[in-house]
Amino acid sequence: MKKVFFLMLALVASVFGADEAAAVVETAVDAAPAVAAATADVANQTLKAYSMIAAGVGLGLAALGGAIGMGSTAAATIAGTARNPGLGGKLMTTMFIALAMIEAQVIYTLVIALIALYANPYLAA
Least confident of 41-45, 62-66, 77-81, 84-88: 41-45
If we measure between CA atoms, which residue out of 47, 71, 73, 66 comes closest to residue 108?
66
Per residue in 29-56, pLDDT (tens digit) is 555 666 666 677 787 888 888 888 888 9
| CATH superfamily name and code, 38-125 | F1F0 ATP synthase subunit C (1.20.20.10)
Alpha-carbon distance 55 to 47, whole Å?
A: 12
Query: What is the pLDDT, as a whole number, of residue 29?
Result: 54
Q: Are 77 and 92 in contact (CB under 8 A)?
A: yes
Question: Could you state, in order of their start, the residue ranges of all structural domains in the chain?
Answer: 1-30, 38-125
Distances (CA, A) of 74 to 28, 89, 111: 61, 13, 26
Q: What percent of the chain has pLDDT over 90?
A: 43
What is the mean predicted confidence (pLDDT) over 19-27? 53
Q: What pLDDT does 83 receive?
A: 95
